[in-house]
Copies of this chain bind each other. A is one copy, B any other.
Amino acid sequence: MKEITRTPIVILNFKTYLESTGEKALKLAKISEEVANETGVNIAVVPQYTDLLRISNEVKIPVLAQHVDAVDAGGHTGSILLESVKMVGATGTLLNHSEHRMKLANIQKMVKRVADQEMVSVICTNNIETSVAAATLQPNFVAIEPPELIGSGIPVSQAEPEVVEGTVDAIHKINTKIGVLCGAGISTADDMQAALDLGSDGVLLASGIILAEDPKKALYNLVSKI
């Protein structure tokens, strides 16, 4: 928990790419660990549920789940139970990712359940307004990703710096302990630097690294100016 909230942080979302599933997920997690060790930057990985166990057994960097469903233990065939991801080593989870939006009541329920399990919550949001609403629920992090920039290659820190700054300001008025992450279009050292300069505590990213020709090089590059 302590480690996962050390900032600046790079959170690497494996999504459901074949390039980051199974053996390739493990390899990518090991690369992330190497870069974290060599650079001292806090890097967390977010593999699929099926890969959580092996990755958390084999690397020492923080491992998060991509989502958990708003259910308690019981008869919920097919759902993602928070306790199930914790038991295989996840120390936190994304919530409300743009590819898996959640109902307000469910986000609130799960931020609380995650905290009760002494795990870390990262709520993804799409603009300043939803970031503020999310922050009132007291997660550990809010990751803002303007949907028009996701996968665009255009970094939010460059295209909409005022959104990042506005989000940081608004969230810190609610609780200065909530970390703010930038999450769309980030892939280079300059993007990363700009994100931090705007007051954020790190980045949430995926395809810029996962689908890079040389993920390790791309990840090194990303954190090279921190």
Please report A residues at the B interface, Cβ cutoff 8 Å. 13, 15-18, 21-23, 46, 48-54, 66-67, 71, 73-81, 83-85, 87-88, 94, 96-108, 112, 125-127, 129-130, 132-134, 136-137, 151, 206-207
Contact = CB atoms under 8 A, between A and B. Distances in A.
Given A79-B99, A96-B103, 6 more contacts: A16-B76, A75-B207, A77-B100, A78-B99, A101-B105, A132-B136
B73 A100 contact: no
A67 to B, nearest CB: 3
Given A53-B54, A99-B78, A107 B104 contact: yes
Contact of A50 (B71, B85, B207): B85
- Please state the number of chain copies in the assembly: 4
B129 A108 contact: yes
A54 B50 CA distance: 10
A84 B22 contact: yes
A92 B17 CA distance: 20
A104 B101 CA distance: 8
A106 B133 CA distance: 12
8 contacts: A49-B50, A50-B84, A51-B88, A75-B207, A96-B103, A101-B104, A108-B129, A132-B136
B21 A84 contact: yes
Contacts of A71: 16
Nearest to A18: B73
A142 to B, nearest CB: 12
A77 B102 contact: no
A125 B136 CA distance: 14
A203 to B, nearest CB: 15
A94 B106 CA distance: 19
A96 B88 contact: no
A13 B133 CA distance: 26
A130 B151 contact: no
B127 A133 contact: no
Nearest to A66: B78
A89 to B, nearest CB: 9
